[in-house]
Amino acid sequence: MTKRQRLTISHLPNAEKLIGLRFTAKERQLMLANLNEQLAAYEKLRAIPIDNGVPPALSFDPRVPGMTFETSQRRIRFSKVKRPRLPDSVEDIAFWPITQLAALIRTKQISAVELTKLYLDRLQRYDPILKCVITFTDDLALQQARRADREIARGEYRGLLHGIPYGAKDLLATRGRRTTWGAEPYRDQVPDINATVIDRLEAAGAVLIAKLSVGALAWGDVWLDGVMTKNPWNLEEGSSGSSAGSGSATAAGLVGFAIGTETLGSIVSPSNRCRVTGLRPTFGRVSRYGAMALSWSMDKIGPLCRRVEDCAIVFDAIRGADGRDLSVTAYPFNYDVRLDVKQLRVGYVKSAFEKRRENKANDDETLRVLKSLGINLIPIELPRFPYNAMTIILFAEAAAAFDELTRSHRDDLLARQVKDAWPNVFRHSRLIPAVEYIQANRIRSLAMQAMHAALHAAQIDVYVVPSFDEADLTRTNLTGHPAVVVPNGVTRKGHSSSITFTGKLYGEAAALLVAKAYQDATNFHARKPELPSN
C-alpha cells in the first residue's frame, strides 16, 4: 500500500459520520493500525476474481424453530379440461390457459410446431411495439417443438407443458445464447450452461421461444440502451419491473407463460401492471443455479401466467432441489383442485384494507367476493418492524454481487444513472457497515419468528392483502413467504389493480387454491388488451 493510500487520524472523523458513531481521539489512535491492515486485506481479497454465480458461505433459511411442514408428496390434481374445440380463428388461442392449450396438443388438434409458429409470429408482430424481447430463439424453439411432436406421436406425452411455448427473463442462463441481464456491460455475455429452470422446463417438454426483457440488473423496466418495455394495456407506460418482458409478453398473448424472478417485488409489480397472474414461491423452493445473483438471501424464481392454475403447473415443473443451489429444500407441493377452500383458514390484514388508496374499492370488492364463496375471513395483524430499514440487506448483497462492476467503473455504461437505479445503489452500499448488515439480519430473524407466531396463533393457512401494501411486500420478501398476485380490476383513474394471496412457508398450494377460487368467480383474467398493428 502506498503512502497516498494509507489512512491517517484526519480521515476518521468523517468516516465516523458515515456510520453514525463517534470515537475519542485515544480510540482513533488505537484503531488506526488495524484500519490500515484491513485496507491492505481488502486489496488482497479484491485480487481474487469472483464470478456472479459464487454464493457466500452463509445461507439464508426462512424456517424458524417450532415450525412443522408436510413431508409426504401426494398426487397432484389439476382441473380436468373437457376436450376443447379449435376455434375458426386460430389466433384466438393465443390467450388460452395452459390447460386448454395442452388439451389441443394432446388431442392433436394443433401441433407443437403450429402453436410455436403462432406465438413466434405474434412476438415478431408486437415486439416492435412492446419491446419485450431481448433475444428471439426461433431455431431452438422449432427444434424443441418438432421433438415434442415426434414424442407425442409415439405416445410419449410428458405432461401439461409438453409443446407449450414460453419466454424466460433474460437473467436465466441459456447455453450458447447470450444472456444480457438487460445491462450494457453484459450485452454480449454467452454462458456455457443452462439455468436449472431452463433444463427442467425442457425436460417437461416446454418450448423456449424468447429471452424476455429484464430491467437492467433486475431493476425497473428499462434495459439495454435505455429501451423501455411497454404495458400492453397502456402503451404510454412501462410494464413495470424487473420481470418486465415476462409480464408484458404474457399479457399480450405472445407466450403460453413466462418465467420471472423477484427479490423485492419483481413478479408482483409487473403482474399488477400488466394484469396477469404471478407466483412468487417460498424462498428456497426453486433452484437459482444459472440465474443472475442479486441477493443470495432474497432472490426467488417463479412463473407469470394468465391463470392461477397455470402458475401451479409451471411451479410443479421447476421446483425442487438440484444439488447446485444448496438453499433449495425438498418439501412437497400438494396441490389438489378438489379441495374445498372453505376448509382453509383465510385471514385478511385489516389495517391494510382500511388505508386510503386508489385501489381500495377493488380490494374491498375482493373481500366481498371471497365472503360470497363461503370463505370466513379472519381479521389479522402482522408484526411491525422497520422493514424498509432492513432493505440494507438487499443493498449490501447486491453491491457484493456486482462489486467488480463498481470498482472497474463499468457501472457508468448502464443507461439509467438515477438515485434508485443499481449503479448508484451499488456505490452508496459500499459504505454500509458489515456490523449493520449483520444486525439487520438479526432483526430479520426476530421478524421471521414474530411472523410465524402471528400466523400460528390465528391458525392461518392463507391471508389476503393489497398487493402494494408496502410493509407486507417488503416483509414477506424478507421472511421468504410465497405469494400469488391476481388482477382484481381497474381503478377510476384507469390504473391496473391486483390482490395478493400469501401462504405459509412452503404453502403455495393453499395460496394458489384460494386465489383460483377468487379468480374463477371473477373475469378480470379473461380480458385482453387491444394492441395496434405494427
Active site residue ranges: 169, 242, 266
Give the Å distances, CA to CA, from 286 to 225, 326, 461, 470, 472.
31, 11, 21, 25, 22
Cβ burial of 289 (10 Å; 0-12, 13-18, 19+) is: buried
Phi, psi of 53 (to 5 degrees): -80, -5
- Do the beta carbons of residue 411 and residue 426 sit within 8 Å? yes
- Do the beta carbons of residue 464 and residue 367 sit within 8 Å? yes
- Do the beta carbons of residue 242 and residue 220 sit within 8 Å? yes
User: What single-letter amino acid sits at 70?
Assistant: E
- Compute the distance between CA of residue 344 and CA of residue 517 in angstroms, rounded to an integer: 12
User: What single-letter amino acid sits at 465?
Assistant: V
**How many angstroms separate the most distant Cα atoms in the chain?**
85
- Compute the distance between CA of residue 71 and CA of residue 104 in angstroms, rounded to an integer: 35
DSSP SS3 for 487:
strand
- Do the beta carbons of residue 258 and residue 212 sit within 8 Å? yes
CA 493 distance to own-chain centroid: 27
- Compute the distance between CA of residue 173 and CA of residue 473 in angstroms, rounded to an integer: 27
- Compute the distance between CA of residue 25 and CA of residue 279 in angstroms, rounded to an integer: 54
Query: Look-up: residue for cell 481488502?
Result: 42
Beta bridge partners of 304: 258, 278
